[in-house]
Amino acid sequence: MRSTSRTEAFPAHTPAASQIFTTVLSHGPLTRSEIAARTRLSAAAVTKAVRPLIEAGYLLEDVDEDARQPSLGRPANPVLVDGGRALFIGVKMTGDELIAVLTDLCCRIRVARHVPLTTHDPKAVLASTAALVQELLTEADGFGVRVQGLGIAVSGDVDRAAGVVRYSPFLEWRDVPLAELAAMTTGLPVTVDNDVRALTVAEQWFGAGVGLSDFAVVTVGAGIGCGLVVHGQVVSGAHGVAGEIGHVAIDPAGPLCHCGNRGCVEAIAADSAIVGKVREVTGVQVADAAAALDLAHEGDPGAREVYARAGEAIGRGIATVANLLGPERVIISGEGLAAYDLFAEQIRDAFAAAAFGSAARCDVQTRPLPFEEWARGAAATAIQSFIRSDTY
């Protein structure tokens, strides 16, 4: 995270304090003893960490529940996060547009904005981003609350620790030091992360992953992505690559992938692969994924078969994740869910056939998440950086 002076420091000076706050953020309201039980910290440590967080206004005592009796001299009232105490901005960059949201500390969206991108030139994209952020900062002024951080989510190989976009195919970027550049143009502390990992953070803290130590988010659409949470933490990979379900190769005789291999899940099930295959099979020169989808929805058997094959590939990719990691849940999302009626059955059948033993007990569910949710994921990474500030 690149830091500037406009913002304040979060009053959690130890990993334990950050952990306590995160626990209340995802699971609150919680009493101090409930926090102690969940974090496996001592009640004394919880009481000590909660005090400055209440004093600084980040946590509130839930005085409504006055029926509870204090025990052992410790306050028994539950505490909860005051979402309105701080605001954050999340931006999702796609090849076509910027989607930005202003959220509170509980990652609830207050304002959302879209602007189209007409160029992928980093300077122009940064200028558009800065203008969009400025609009949201003005909105934040209206709430009278300070924005404490900006998160940016980009697809591709992103090094969060360094704040650098190593490679983003849709933006055609290589080694862009996005965090540093965006901090200069916006004056905010900036966190840059891979878009699927950002969405996974939002699901872990505020979505369908709350309370799960092991789950996966699989996104289908322009690419096939995957965010993995193992032992309660998002997997980043020792060298920055992880969750590349799109490049799990399931068929050596399959179509050529842009990565150079044959039969990757992405080469069968990503939007461009589906469009190409529908054209080939039907002879209809569909313009884009929406047109291919229309053709299949009109009942064209060739087009429907292409979606069925895509579903099979996705199901097999998910089974591979389940066989290696045994997650409790897999959440399928992404704009490709618009075609879900065309491949849901194939995803489930292929998963059930390829999952090994009790790995098949994994709960596979779908969750349509609009692009605002991806921007919300970016805001979640900014919240995460704010809470885990490197003051300890």
In the complex, the residues that contact a copy of itself under the rule CB under 8 A are: 15, 40, 157, 166-167, 214, 226, 228, 230-233, 235-245, 247-253, 259-261, 316, 319-328, 353-354, 356-359, 361-362
**Residue nearer to a copy of itself on the CB measure, 145 or 212:** 212
- Min dist. Cβ of residue 235 to a copy of itself (A): 6
- Min dist. Cβ of residue 83 to a copy of itself (A): 29
- Min dist. Cβ of residue 363 to a copy of itself (A): 9
**Residue nearer to a copy of itself on the CB measure, 232 or 370:** 232
**Residue nearer to a copy of itself on the CB measure, 171 or 182:** 171
**Residue nearer to a copy of itself on the CB measure, 83 or 240:** 240
- Min dist. Cβ of residue 215 to a copy of itself (A): 9
**Residue nearer to a copy of itself on the CB measure, 115 or 235:** 235
**Residue nearer to a copy of itself on the CB measure, 5 or 358:** 358
- Min dist. Cβ of residue 45 to a copy of itself (A): 11
- Min dist. Cβ of residue 252 to a copy of itself (A): 6
3-state secondary structure string across the chain: CECCCCCCCCCCCCHHHHHHHHHHHHHCCECHHHHHHHHCCCHHHHHHHHHHHHHCCCEEECCCCCCCCCECCECCCCEEECHHHCEEEEEEECCCEEEEEEEECCCCEEEEEEEECCCCCHHHHHHHHHHHHHHHHHHHHHHCCCEEEEEEEECCEEECCCCEEEEECCCCEEEECHHHHHHHHHCCCEEEEEHHHHHHHHHHHHCCCCCCCCEEEEEECCCEEEEEEECCEECCCCCCCCCCHHHCECCCCCCECCCCCECEHHHHHCHHHHHHHHHHHHCCCCCCHHHHHHHHHCCCHHHHHHHHHHHHHHHHHHHHHHHHHCCCEEEEECHHHHHHHHHHHHHHHHHHHHCCHHHHHCEEEECCCCHHHHHHHHHHHHHHHHHCCCCC
